[in-house]
Structure 1
Amino acid sequence: MKQWRVWLQAARLRTLPLASAGILTGSALAAQAGAFRLNIFIWAWLTALLLQILSNFANDLGDAQHGADSAHRQGPTRAVQSGAISHRAMWRAIFFTGGGSLLTGTYLLYLAFFSGSVPNYKAFTILLLIGVLAILAAIGYTIGKRPYGYWGLGDLSVWLFFGLIAVAGSYFLYTGQLTAAVWGAAAAIGFWSVGVLNLNNMRDIESDRLAGKRSLPVRMGYQAARYYHAFLVIAGMLALLFTANILFHQRQQFVFLLTYPLFVIHLKKVWNTAEPPQLDPLLKQLALSTFFCSVLFAAAAFWG
Structure 2
Amino acid sequence: MSKIKAWLNAARLRTLPLSLSGIIVGTGLAGFYGYFNYSIFVLALLTTVGFQVTSNFANDYGDGVKGTDNEDRVGPKRALQSGILTKEELKLGIILSIVINIILVLLLVFLAFGIQNIGYIILFLGLGAASIWAAITYTVGTSAYGYRGLGDVYVFLFFGLIGVLGCLFLYAKFITTVSLLPAVTIGLLSVGVLNLNNLRDSLSDKKVGKNTLVVKMGFENGKKYHYVLLSLALLSMGGFIFMNYLNWISLIPLLGFVPISIHIRKVYITEQPRLLDPELKRLALSTFLLSVLFYFSFNIFS
* TM surpasses 0.5: yes
Q: Which residue of 196, 203, 208 maps to 1:211?
A: 208
Contact 1:181 1:247 in 2 (8 A): no
For residues 248 and 222 of structure 2, the distance between their equivalents in structure 1, rounded to whole angstroms, comes to 36
For residues 280 and 159 of structure 1, the distance between their equivalents in structure 2, rounded to whole angstroms, comes to 21
TM-score (norm 2): 0.98
Determine whether 1:301 maps to 2:298: yes
Contact 1:114 1:120 in 2 (8 A): yes
Work out the number of aligned pairs and report it.
301
Q: Which residue of 237, 240, 244 maps to 1:243?
A: 240
User: How far 1:209 sits from its partner (Å)?
Assistant: 0.7
Determine whether 1:199 maps to 2:193: no
- 1:139-288 maps to which residues of 2 (within 5 A)? 139-288=136-285
For residues 53 and 239 of structure 1, the distance between their equivalents in structure 2, rounded to whole angstroms, comes to 29
For residues 124 and 248 of structure 1, the distance between their equivalents in structure 2, rounded to whole angstroms, comes to 34
Identity level (%): 42
User: How far 1:96 sits from its partner (Å)?
Assistant: 1.0
> Match for residue 124 of structure 2?
127
> Match for residue 84 of structure 1?
84
For residues 28 and 255 of structure 2, the distance between their equivalents in structure 1, rounded to whole angstroms, comes to 18
For residues 241 and 131 of structure 1, the distance between their equivalents in structure 2, rounded to whole angstroms, comes to 30
For residues 238 and 2 of structure 1, the distance between their equivalents in structure 2, rounded to whole angstroms, comes to 46
For residues 244 and 49 of structure 1, the distance between their equivalents in structure 2, rounded to whole angstroms, comes to 28
> Match for residue 38 of structure 2?
38
- 1:43-122 maps to which residues of 2 (within 5 A)? 43-114=43-114, 119-122=116-119
Q: Which runs of 5+ in 1 are unaligned?
A: none
Determine whether 1:3 maps to 2:3: yes
**Following superposition, which runs of at least 4 residues in structure 1 exceed 6 angstroms of deviation?**
none
For residues 14 and 153 of structure 2, the distance between their equivalents in structure 1, rounded to whole angstroms, comes to 22
Q: Deviations over 1:120-169 (max 9, x none)?
A: 11111011101100000000000011101000000000000000001000
User: How far 1:2 sits from its partner (Å)?
Assistant: 2.0
Give, as a single letter, the amino acid of the residue that structure 1 aligns with 2:24: L
SS in 2 for 1:180: coil
**C-alpha root-mean-square deviation of aligned residues, in Å?**
1.0
